[in-house]
Amino acid sequence: MCEVKVITGTSAAAEAAKLADVDVIAAYPITPQTTCVEKLAEFVANGELDAEYIKVESEHSAMSACIGAAATGARTFTATASQGLALMHEMLFIASGMRLPIVMMVANRALSAPINIWNDQQDSIAERDSGWIQIYVEDNQETLDSIIQAYKIAENEDVLLPVMVCLDGFILTHTVEPVTIPKAERVRDFLGVYEPKHAYLDPDRPITQGPVGVPDCYMETRKQVEEAMERAKKVIKEVNEEFSERFKRKYGNGLVEAYNLDKADTVLVAMGSVCGTIKYVIDELKKEGKEVGLLRIRTFRPFPKEDIKEFLKDANNIAVLDKNISLGFNKGALGIEMASILKNKKVCNYIVGLGGRDITIDNIKSIINHVEKAEDDETVWVGLKE
């Protein structure tokens, strides 16, 4: 029924794109993403994947190529990181505004200056308002599964928005883990054949794409993207549930994952690979009779406000871990948004892991101790050198 390989996160992403039977791949190298498009080049060269592999001159061009290909009805894939994602900035808005279901793997990496190739999540967080759905994964298996799910989400007629699947650079991209790879025919059955109902670039049914948005119509187009984001919440949950039924793997409800929340008055909220460390600490504390919970935010866009409120209704000590910083506000993006929807609760924000700084077991324990003693909302930078 399936095959298990011990592979890196970037290889898992490439395997997922192959399983999705993508038509067009736009490739430009950047650490720590490069090994993903290298693996895809190998698949195409070996005849394992029948796709157009376009070697472009920049990340801006990579997204431009995906936009052009997706506008013809092709299923497209690309991958990037850090400065590469920043260089795409203009085109990200065009992709979502044109309602093109592009899927992209983002290997999260700190932005310079100073130059840093290690992990934090500032790069994708900086693009949170670009109209892309954002999924943050915990491990390599979830990387593969989420990219497959991303196509079914993006191509849904109620959504039609691009999706970025974000995995922590080096921590996942270059670390090997056992990954279960389903049979290609099962994935094809799950995704179905992509047949866009809209004309796109069809000479027999010509339409205009990306025209001038005059004041008479521009505002309505932005509202339509927002409404599609809201509809995506339901679709993400449904796709996660169907994936679970077919492949026996499930990621919370698709938007969030609750871990040991039943009796927990203290709850940590985080995204990405750090959640594995948090789960380990929670399990160790549980042996000592202490109940602490985790709410993992899997989908940051659309932001799962309703689910967060429901899962945290009984928690009084909420510690939000952010691997990014909103400079000038002294909080991370997740911390800001959590505080905005949990106005009657104590929500402390912890800035962790910037530029690849280790987030240790002791760091997690110190965060738990701090939030339980804190008298009010605070922002704490964890792991700074004295």
CATH value at residue 367? 3.40.50.920
pLDDT score of 318 more than 90: yes
Residues 234 and 299 in one domain: no
Residues 70 and 102 in one domain: yes
pLDDT score of 49 more than 70: yes
In what helix (H) or strand (E) does residue 184 lie, and over which residues does it extend? helix 184-191
CB-based burial of residue 345 (10 Å sphere; 0-12 exposed, 13-18 middle, 19+ buried)?
A: middle
**Could you tell me if residue 386 is inside a domain?**
no
Residues 233 and 286 in one domain: no
Handedness of CA 104, 109, 111, 113 (dihedral sign): negative
Q: Give the pLDDT confidence score for residue 202 in this predicted structure.
A: 77
Q: What would you report as the CA-atom Rg of the chain, rounded to the nearest whole angstrom?
A: 20
Residues 242 and 265 in one domain: no
pTM for the full predicted model = 0.98
Residues 184 and 305 in one domain: no
Residues 42 and 128 in one domain: yes
Instruction: Provide the CATH number for the domain around residue 119.
Output: 3.40.50.970
CA dist., res. 95 & res. 71, Å (int):
9
pLDDT band at 196 (very low <50, low <70, confident <90, very high): confident
Residues 312 and 226 in one domain: no
Residues 78 and 157 in one domain: yes
Average pLDDT value for residue range 295-306: 98
Q: Give the pLDDT confidence score for residue 1 in this predicted structure.
A: 65
pLDDT score of 356 more than 80: yes
Query: Do 22 and 10 touch, CB atoms closer than 8 A?
Result: no
Query: Do 371 and 317 touch, CB atoms closer than 8 A?
Result: yes
Residues 182 and 236 in one domain: yes
**Could you tell me if residue 301 is inside a domain?**
yes
Residue after which a domain boundary falls, among 186, 214, 247: 247
Residue after which a domain boundary falls, among 183, 212, 247: 247
Q: Is 20 strand, coil or helix? A: coil
Q: Which residues of 175-203 are buried (b: 16+ CB within 10 A; e: fewer)?
A: eeeebebbeeeebeebbeebebeeebeee
**Could you tell me if residue 253 is inside a domain?**
no
Domain holding 345, by residue range, is: 258-381
pLDDT digit string, tens, across residues 86-145: 999 999 999 999 999 999 999 999 999 999 999 999 999 999 999 999 999 999 999 999
**Could you tell me if residue 70 is inside a domain?**
yes
pLDDT band at 197 (very low <50, low <70, confident <90, very high): confident
Assigned token pair, 199? 């004309």
Residues 203 and 272 in one domain: no
Q: Is 31 strand, coil or helix? A: coil
**Could you tell me if residue 323 is inside a domain?**
yes
Residues 228 and 306 in one domain: no
Query: Do 293 and 268 touch, CB atoms closer than 8 A?
Result: yes
Q: Which H, E and C letters describe 242-300, residue by residue? A: HHHHHHCCCCCCCCEEEECCCCCCEEEEECCCHHHHHHHHHHHHHHCCCCEEEEEECEE
Total structural domains within the chain: 2
pLDDT digit string, tens, across residues 145-171: 999 999 999 999 999 999 999 999 999
**Could you tell me if residue 114 is inside a domain?**
yes
**Could you tell me if residue 9 is inside a domain?**
yes
Residues 159 and 229 in one domain: yes
**Could you tell me if residue 252 is inside a domain?**
no
- How crowded is residue 288: how many other Cβ atoms within 10 Å of its Cβ? 6
Residue after which a domain boundary falls, among 196, 216, 247: 247
Average pLDDT value for residue range 63-77: 96
pLDDT score of 198 more than 80: no
Q: Give the pLDDT confidence score for residue 204 in this predicted structure.
A: 82
pLDDT score of 210 more than 90: no
